[in-house]
Structure 1
Amino acid sequence: MKYDLRFPLLVTLLLVVGLMTVSTAALSPRVSEGIFTKQLLGVALAAAPIALLWWAGRDRIYRFAPHLFGLALLLQASTFVIGKEVNGQKNWIMLGPVQFQPLEITKLALILMLAVMLRSGFRGLPTYARALAVFAPAAALVVVQDFGGAMVLSVIFGVMLLAARIPWWHAVLAVLAVGVAVPTVLYPHLEPYQQKRLTIFLDPYKDPRGAGYQVIQSVIAVGSGGLEGKGYKQGSQSHNGFLPEAHTDFAVSTWLEEQGLVGGVILLLLYGGLLWGLAGMAAQSPRLQDQVLFAGVLGQIGFQVVENIGAALSVLPLTGITLPLISYGLSSLVSTLSTLAVAYVVYRDRYEGQI
């Protein structure tokens, strides 16, 4: 079957959940007016790149990868000069009335470029050299201003290398090296507020009015939802302004407060179905290059889902990573929909050009 209609159906259902969440979070006094309208605009804006990708097809998309990657690096570097500071991070660009985060373009560009560089699979040290030549500049430009974004790029990089079939013991050594380097090399060089954000989940009541406030309010919101939730637009934590970032970082807390455990299970099933669909697409694709690309998309979406929900439940560090298709944000929404569209188009054209 050339088209799998279950995939766009799952994406549509997640978009509905996201729009419901943003519409109720809009009632919070902490949130600026018009976010629901802007989120709807984001869905409409995504139609243009999706249509372009649908027309371009698999081969054109891969040929365009170096151009998109170069543009992403240029935009990422420009944030150091003309970037706008949002929530303590100067990683946004303003172009008239349009505000966007170059990181979202960088994620997709990295996936496409790595798929091109790793299309032949593992071929010894040159494989690592080519992959690092792509990953290193992107990560270096991001990690300075957005540690959470750098984490997403790192997961994409690692998962795509695994899909390129590097030796398993190389992967084990890499994980051990990262496990040693993060606490001994990277962590000490982070800003104090960044260090606190990464560790406060262990005991948020150490600083209940400061770094721990967000996590505490999130857990209260989730717990108050109970089994069936308080009902749509009936969430007291978000509507009364207790829950910070109810439309972005803690959008899942807003959803769980109103829809409860039942709504949480539904959300996890939708995400599980989406990730399973991506894995199925990879399994049905005969070319390694396409399999590597699907791995990157799966790694990005899967990691963001786990990290965002885990942070909202105070079981993982708070890194500011958005929940795909649910959290408010035009650049995030358009980028995620475009990334999923790339995967769907590559799946559609998986047999074209095959002998």
Structure 2
Amino acid sequence: MKYDLRFPIVIAALLVVGLMTVSTAALSPRASSGIFTKQLLGVALAALPIGLLWWAGRDRIYRYAPHLFAAALGLQASTFVIGKEVNGQRNWILLGPLQFQPLEILKFALILMLAVVLAGGYKGLSTYARAFAVFLPAAGLVVVHDFGGAMVLGVMFGVMLLAARIPAWHALVAVAALAVVVPTVLYPHLEPYQQKRLTIFLDPYADPRGAGYQVIQSTIAVGSGGLQGKGYKQGSQSHNGFLPEAHTDFAVSTWLEEQGFVGGVIVLVLYGALLWGLAGMAAEAPRLQDQILFAGVLGQVGFQVIENVGAALSVLPLTGITLPLISYGLSSLVSTLATLGLAYVVHRDRFEGQL
């Protein structure tokens, strides 16, 4: 059987960008020790779930989706009891010398479970009942500690419903309802620091030493990169500790400072190729269930890229959403690679069982 190698090649290229970014961000006095080694470990560890998915195949993966989803919900719920607080969010679990976010497993499991319950497409209001029965427990467990993570789940959910062929007017009503509910009901119930993070991008200089500091330093780093950048491991904003979270939330700022506008275009082209590849997989899938799954993966990766880059450039709210395959983070890296591996396996098996 012939395999299309363009998709894994694009992923490998983005991994190289990520490893370069983490290695230079590691020079910052703000960075934890050993982050480059841990990022390499994440790439190696991802081989385990990808290999398991490759062996299991499409049908077996769908069959075990409910079990994986139940386990993911249990892990996420456990953060309320044994979770470790990082940056004000109690959503991490310690596992020996390592720590991981159950949210990353939940993203993967939610995509799979929604693809299962929406496999038949839109069948009236019962479709929403099944979909919300899956989505609401997941989102409810996440939104308490991680508003940005809940946003990712929400976008995945919406995109997968659209792929399930819900009526267009239903989608328009939902968007209108969110436009009313978010600012009037949800926003007032957020913590003050969360509210400020969501609005400070409009005028970061209103609080230059507080909530606006990160965004200001990010835009300075990006602007100082110019056309061709300062060169690999030559960034001053990140290396001198001015840019906070240079290896996670603002990894793209670190990259743009050193590689400039040209490097930024390269990264955007690579992400465009990745998303185009996922869209192509959806178009080639003969079964609606697979199309819905590809839509979920596309929604997750696409939204995280847009939100992270937009926040770094101060054109979107700062939500703490990391950049897939580039930002440092062992659990997020393994989960993203496993999710993309899932898409590749389902695409491989798209014709199996078809008459």
The TM-score, its normalising length taken from structure 1, stands at 0.99
The one-letter code sitting in structure 1 at the alignment partner of 2:148 is: G
Structure 1 unaligned spans of 5+: none
1:98-137 paired onto structure 2 within 5 Å: 98-137=98-137
Q: Which runs of 4+ in 1 moved over 3 A?
A: none
Aligned to 2:234, what secondary structure does the other structure show? coil
Give the Cα–Cα distance (whole angstroms) in 2 for the partners of residues 30 and 97 of structure 1. 20
1:143-187 CA distance string (max 9 Å, x none): 000000000000000000000000000000000001110000000
Give the Cα–Cα distance (whole angstroms) in 2 for the partners of residues 99 and 61 of structure 1. 26
Does residue 207 of structure 1 match 2:211?
A: no
Give the Cα–Cα distance (whole angstroms) in 1 for the partners of residues 297 and 89 of structure 2. 25
The one-letter code sitting in structure 1 at the alignment partner of 2:267 is: L
Give the Cα–Cα distance (whole angstroms) in 1 for the partners of residues 132 and 218 of structure 2. 38
1:155-194 paired onto structure 2 within 5 Å: 155-194=155-194
The one-letter code sitting in structure 1 at the alignment partner of 2:182 is: V
1:294-322 CA distance string (max 9 Å, x none): 00000000000000000000000000000
Does residue 74 of structure 1 match 2:74?
A: yes
Once structures 1 and 2 are overlaid, which stretch shifts more, 232-241 or 96-105?
A: 96-105
1:220-299 paired onto structure 2 within 5 Å: 220-299=220-299
1:82-118 CA distance string (max 9 Å, x none): 0000000000001222210000001010000000000
Compute the displacement of 1:2 (Å).
4.9
1:39-50 paired onto structure 2 within 5 Å: 39-50=39-50
Compute the displacement of 1:32 (Å).
1.1
1:78-89 paired onto structure 2 within 5 Å: 78-89=78-89
1:51-110 CA distance string (max 9 Å, x none): 110000000110111111001100010000000000000000012222100000010100
- Do 1:104 and 1:331's aligned partners in 2 also have CA atoms closer than 8 Å? yes
Structure 2 unaligned spans of 5+: none
- Do 1:139 and 1:154's aligned partners in 2 also have CA atoms closer than 8 Å? yes
- Do 1:116 and 1:289's aligned partners in 2 also have CA atoms closer than 8 Å? yes
Give the Cα–Cα distance (whole angstroms) in 2 for the partners of residues 125 and 102 of structure 1. 31
The one-letter code sitting in structure 1 at the alignment partner of 2:149 is: G
- Do 1:22 and 1:328's aligned partners in 2 also have CA atoms closer than 8 Å? yes
1:143 corresponds in structure 2 to 143
Give the Cα–Cα distance (whole angstroms) in 2 for the partners of residues 208 and 295 of structure 1. 39
Give the Cα–Cα distance (whole angstroms) in 1 for the partners of residues 47 and 277 of structure 2. 21
1:31-46 paired onto structure 2 within 5 Å: 31-46=31-46
2:315 corresponds in structure 1 to 315
Give the Cα–Cα distance (whole angstroms) in 1 for the partners of residues 95 and 338 of structure 2. 21
Number of residue pairs matched by the alignment = 355
1:204-244 CA distance string (max 9 Å, x none): 00000000000000000000000000000000000000000
- Do 1:30 and 1:244's aligned partners in 2 also have CA atoms closer than 8 Å? yes
Give the Cα–Cα distance (whole angstroms) in 1 for the partners of residues 17 and 96 of structure 2. 30
